[in-house]
Amino acid sequence: MQIEFDSTVIRWNKRLDSWYFATMPEEISVPLRELPAPPRGFNSLRVRARIGATSWNTSIFFSDGVFVLPLKKQIRDERGIAEGDQITIDLDILDL
């Protein structure tokens, strides 16, 4: 299953280190959450993510009614992504 969406990069800094995420829109997250998938920790789904020419395997996590995609430092640095940036993400859902 392939999904494309736009998101604004957010920073979550409730710990000593900061985590950066892209939030999947609710209108995509809710129906995706309702599809049968193998049980995984943290309400996650395995995905292949792409931003521009950069792709990587990771997981998306269901939190507060939407899925979020963590954006690791290597990806942010490679693509020049910062907090507040608007990005387009392509996902291949691997668990469905």
**For residue 50, what is the domain's CATH number?**
2.40.30.100
pLDDT at 16: 61
Number of domains in the chain: 1
Higher pLDDT, 77 or 36: 77
Exposure string of 52-63, with b = 16+ CB inside 10 Å and e = fewer, is eeeeeebbbbbe
pTM across the whole model: 0.88
Range of the domain at 72: 2-93
- Per-residue pLDDT reduced to its tens digit, 1-56: 999 999 999 998 766 678 999 999 999 999 998 888 776 777 799 999 999 999 99
pLDDT at 73: 93
pLDDT at 50: 98
Residue 85 pLDDT > 90: yes
Task: Give the number of other CB atoms < 10 A from CB of residue 22.
Answer: 25
